[in-house]
Amino acid sequence: MHPALFALAISAFAIGTTEFLTVGIMPNVAHDLGITLPMAGLIVSVYALGATIGAPVLTALTGHIARRPLLLGLMTLFTLGNMVAAISPNYEILLIARIMTAFAHGVFFAIGATIAASMVPENRRASAIAIVFSGLTIAIATGVPLGTMLGQALGWRASFWAVTGLGLVSLLAMFALLPRSIKVQTPGTLADQARVLGSGRLLMAFGMNLFGYGGTFVAFTYLASILENITGVAPNQIGIMMFLYGASVIAGNIIGGRVADRDPVPVLIIMFALQAVALAAFTLTAGSLIGTVLTLALLGGLSFCNVPGLHLYVVQLAQKHRPGGVDVASALNIAAANLGIALSAAVGGMVVDSRLGLGATPWVGALLVTVALGLTVWSGLLDRRERAMAANAGPELQGGGHGY
């Protein structure tokens, strides 16, 4: 594999740590800043919304900037944002700091995924994307639990200082390992890139990501509170549970990248179905420590097993239907995932505040994943119809052009 993939993975590790760090330290932040748990949940939602808005807009605007200086600039912004979070005197400044880092997040994963796919043979693209996203999954397995433990021991600000240090390490890794010239597909005009939003096939794929990735976060956003208040895990043991969840996330990402290299849709259908079942099961097992351990191990793998396949599928659809906007399609896919996180975190907050309560968040998330399953089945049927029409019409119509 190209060494640049590992530089991208290291940066993804830093970004993933800061994205999900607040899940483990949310009760600490709420107590220290004197805010409610749902208000603390907005720290997750605001970050996700920042990535949602920043990914497509900034990716389109920076399409003609050389990739190496752009990536270095993004990680500089990321590092500064975490520094501001560490010294933020109040809730409002903390939210602003989260938006700063979120802007870097959205563009990084959009262009990072397409760069990764361009560096390997076609039949290894999902695996290359999985290497980049492995940084994200390893962050959940190690960075988030360690950050949670650090926050429990020294306060939540120490966690953000640690991530600031990770940002500096990422900058050094990219400076050393990224090639001076990175070959990528020449971006189309802004009008060409905007046409991505006119593709029904791509919008459907974005919906798969929004509901599939986001559905998990109805419960995951409040996982520390579920473990503490329903399962009965001691606060200083929550980090250990995060390690368990994260280890299964790593396994899921690796498996997902390998099985989705050729045809991602059939694999995604199976993954979403199992993910919905696992979330629904968590509603029943959350009151038992053993049941929670088993369910989290399963849920972690399934929740991120679909990431490489989903991203590869979007790239494939964009190359077929909107070849001038592949980077923007990739960015919109990142945006869809983060919009799903933002909406799901907000939905989770409403569930927590309602009569349903904290324990209902897993099955509500399962309903959202079921929507993703339906969209995936529908998209697979459309793929099959397109292939049949192309075979019947002859080679002159193959490729799909710029259709629906």
> Can you give the pLDDT at residue 378?
96
* Ordered alpha helix ranges (H), 183-263: 190-194, 200-220, 223-226, 238-259
**Residue range 105-163, pLDDT digits in tens:** 878 887 887 788 777 777 777 677 778 877 877 887 788 888 888 988 899 999 999 99
**Residue range 43-57, pLDDT digits in tens:** 888 888 888 887 777
> Can you give the pLDDT at residue 66?
80
pTM: 0.74
d(CA 195, CA 285) in angstroms, rounded, equals 45
- Please compute the mean of the pLDDT values over residues 25-44 and round it to a whole number: 86
- Please compute the mean of the pLDDT values over residues 222-245 and round it to a whole number: 87
Return the exposure string of 80-110: e unless at least 16 CB atoms fall within 10 Å of the residue's CB, then b.
bbbbbbbebeebeebbebbbbbbbbbbbbbb
312 has a pLDDT exceeding 80: yes
| Angle value at C-alpha 151, between 146 and 155, nearest 5 degrees | 160
> Can you give the pLDDT at residue 284?
94
Token readout for 192 is: 């060409």
> Can you give the pLDDT at residue 287?
92
> Can you give the pLDDT at residue 320?
86
From residue 203, give the alpha-carbon distance in Å to each of 84, 341, 357, 375, 379.
35, 17, 33, 10, 10
**Residue range 354-374, pLDDT digits in tens:** 999 999 999 999 999 999 999
Residue ranges of domains in the chain, CATH in brackets: 3-397 (1.20.1250.20)
d(CA 279, CA 361) in angstroms, rounded, equals 9
